[in-house]
Amino acid sequence: MSDTILIFYGSYRSDRQGIRLAHYLVDAFRARGANAELIDAKALDLPMLDRMYKEYPAGEAPAALEALAGKIKAADAFVFVAGEYNWSVQPGLKNLTDHFLEEWYWRPAAIASYSAGRFAGARAGLAWHGILSEMGMVVVSSSLAVGGIGHALTAEAEPVGDGGASLDKAFPPFADDLAWWTEAARAQRAIKTPPY
């Protein structure tokens, strides 16, 4: 069975460097046989959170929200591509995730962080760990962290230089970890209803 993996990206900037990592991950997961799809917060352009998806009467949520809710509920796992803004998370990605809650439950999530600098978005990755756990996901212990994002991947998402080589080396165990938890969660949901 092919895993369905949603890869979330949240920068709204005009010169987005992290989109390279998002595209790299889509391609890399597809090469492993997964059904991977990029969910780009800027392309969706959801409004600032007023009502969560669950707060709309059935059939009355905006079309983009309804479609995304269906994708989240049908997914086996999630990857969050986390840029770092002032030691914390990107507002666009946070706003997107906050529109949902129960839709995320009982599935694994992984974090791939990045930045232009040498800390590689690690502080944002740490913040996302707590956020995703609170939202009902099991966050896998493996993470990816790409520093110097503009020099590690080309505009076509091809790895280059030492940073790209490090990413290529780190991806397989990252993907293996997520795949293990994805299989475990799917098997458990098949035999036992989640407690809430």
All structural domains of the chain, each given as residue ranges with its CATH number in brackets, are: 4-191 (3.40.50.360)
Continuous segment of H or E residues that includes residue 43: helix 41-44
Q: How far apart are the first and last CA of the chain?
A: 26
- What is the mean pLDDT of the segment spanning 122-133? 96
3-state helix, strand, coil in the chain (%, to 5): 45, 20, 35
Write down the mean pLDDT value for the chain: 96
pLDDT score for 21: 98
Tokens representing 124 are 């944002």
- What is the mean pLDDT of the segment spanning 122-147? 96
- What is the mean pLDDT of the segment spanning 53-64? 96
pLDDT score for 109: 98
3-state secondary structure at position 182: helix
Taking a C-beta distance cutoff of 8 angstroms, is the pair 104, 79 a contact?
no
79-121 pLDDT per residue, tens: 999 999 888 999 999 999 999 999 999 999 999 999 988 899 9
pLDDT score for 23: 98
